[in-house]
Chain A
Amino acid sequence: MTARASFPALGTTAEVVVTEQEKLGDATKLLRAELDAVDRTCSRFRPDSEISLLHRQTGHAVHVSPLLADAIGVALRAARLTGGLVDPTVGTAIRALGYDRDFAALPADNRADIGAAASPAPAPGWHRVLFDPASATVVLPRRVHLDLGATAKAFAADRASRLIARQLGCGVLVNLGGDVAVAGSAPAGGWRIAVGDDHRTAVDQAQTTVAMRGGGLATSGTTRRRWLRAGRPVHHIVDPRTGRNPVPYWRTVSVTALSCVDANTASTAAVVLGEGATAWLAARRLPARLVALDGSVTTVAGWPGDDVALPEVA
């Protein structure tokens, strides 16, 4: 019988589900410790985080911790494998959109206007980051700030699920705001994951439910983390090529992959790509479910068909 626990972390809700009830307490402790380490290392909202320290040393070679080196390596890999559609050097661009503090500290969704910040500008480009993984050394060019938000939660979910499965010897699911990673032995019938627009309501308002036995599932969308900037709604997904939100096309994109990082990299890239995302995902054989703004559903590469009619988004 599975058992679950949840708590706030990384600006969202962290959930752990284990296949052996008596291991829930230890699993929760391991997850908390892992997420605390990721937050202290990768959060650009904490002035005392390691990445904030790195941002204060641009232009210099900086030896970073193994955890930050791994997180940066994962983010640069995502950029390379998406041709820069998911690029960690959007740090300055996303701040220009107004996302310059923990989301909980931003005005509530669409209820207040933060006013115009700096003008959006294309990301400098991931290839400008000098990174030597062997020595865990990073050189950020001046004025280049990293935002690991596109990969850090999925990275943490992958790490935590593998750690828990390895240390406790049970099946485990870790869900960080809709970024789901599973490890160890799955329950009979697989892990059943409800998919919806919003990770907070996905279970109660499921648009579809799939079963998975390994790897990761992630959903990216434009219906959450929205705010007003100079009278116009904006959200947290940035097209690195422009520094602006991508041209609206998909409401949500859900992808499964061998890891949660790969699933989330692909789902974010798909939102940025827009109409071309279905072919892009199919070419990579990544099972995905894409919901367009008009509510129409497209499934590709082996995602079970559902085709539920959804209301159109204004």
Chain B
Amino acid sequence: MNPSTPERMAKRDRSRRKAAMVTAVAALLGAATAGGIGVAMAAGATGTTDTTTMTTTTDSSDSQSQDQLQPPVTNPDSSSGTGSHSGSGAS
């Protein structure tokens, strides 16, 4: 069989793209294992490939954990002062 037929070239191209995706996924998994990146995987997304989709999340804040919502260092107190500095309500 001629190795340069369009079918073979397309197949080779798909293999290369799959290999690149696997490499990228491995790199991201490695980073996630090292900490600092959360990873979730789900099948069947679109985008530029038909392979498994990977979602990673970063955390820009200084002290937030990837693993859970973080409670405050100290719980709020009942205010004993007069007046308020600010207000919170639905917006």
A-to-B contact residues, CB < 8 Å? 2, 4, 12-13, 15, 17, 59-61, 69-70, 73-74, 76-77, 80-82, 125-134, 139-142, 153, 155, 158-159, 162, 173, 175-180, 187, 189-203, 206, 209-215, 217-225, 252, 254, 256-259, 261-262, 265-266, 284-287, 301-304, 306
Identify which of residues 58-91 in chain B touch chain A, using a CB-to-CB cut-off of 8 Å: 58-64, 66-81, 83-91
Q: How many residues of B contact A (CB 8 A)?
A: 49
Contact B68 A219, beta carbon cutoff 8 Å: no
Contact B69 A262, beta carbon cutoff 8 Å: yes
Chain B facing A: main interface SS: loop
Q: In the complex, what distance in Å separates the CA atom of A298 from the CA atom of B45?
A: 41
In whole Å, how far is B3's beta carbon from the nearest beta carbon of chain A? Answer: 30
Contact A192 B90, beta carbon cutoff 8 Å: no
Contact B90 A197, beta carbon cutoff 8 Å: yes
Q: In the complex, what distance in Å separates the CA atom of A215 from the CA atom of B54?
A: 31
Residue from the list A12, A60, A74, A127 in contact with B48, Cβ < 8 A: A60
Q: Which residues from A are CB-within-8-Å of B74?
A: 212-214
Q: In the complex, what distance in Å separates the CA atom of A224 from the CA atom of B63?
A: 31
Q: In the complex, what distance in Å separates the CA atom of A273 from the CA atom of B70?
A: 19
Q: Which residues from A are CB-within-8-Å of B79?
A: 189-190, 192-193, 209-211
- Our count of residue pairs bridging A and B at CB distance below 8 angstroms stands at 243
B-to-A contact residues, CB < 8 Å? 24, 28, 31, 37-38, 40-42, 45-48, 53-64, 66-81, 83-91
Please provide the 5 A-B residue pairs with the shortest distance between their CB atoms, ordered closest to farther: A202-B87, A221-B90, A177-B91, A133-B58, A70-B60
Q: Which residues from B are CB-within-8-Å of A211?
A: 76-81
Q: In the complex, what distance in Å separates the CA atom of A2 from the CA atom of B81?
A: 14
* Given A211-B79, A259-B63, residue A221 in contact with residue B55 (CB < 8 A): no
Contact A202 B89, beta carbon cutoff 8 Å: yes
Contact A206 B84, beta carbon cutoff 8 Å: yes
In whole Å, how far is B37's beta carbon from the nearest beta carbon of chain A? Answer: 6
* Given A178-B88, A201-B89, A258-B63, residue A128 in contact with residue B72 (CB < 8 A): no
In whole Å, how far is B30's beta carbon from the nearest beta carbon of chain A? Answer: 11
Q: Which residues from B are CB-within-8-Å of A261?
A: 61, 64
Q: In the complex, what distance in Å separates the CA atom of A214 from the CA atom of B71?
A: 11
Q: In the complex, what distance in Å separates the CA atom of A193 from the CA atom of B87?
A: 5
Contact B58 A73, beta carbon cutoff 8 Å: yes
In whole Å, how far is B44's beta carbon from the nearest beta carbon of chain A? Answer: 8
Residue from the list B28, B41, B76, B83 in contact with A256, Cβ < 8 A: B76
Residue from the list B28, B48, B71, B78 in contact with A257, Cβ < 8 A: B71
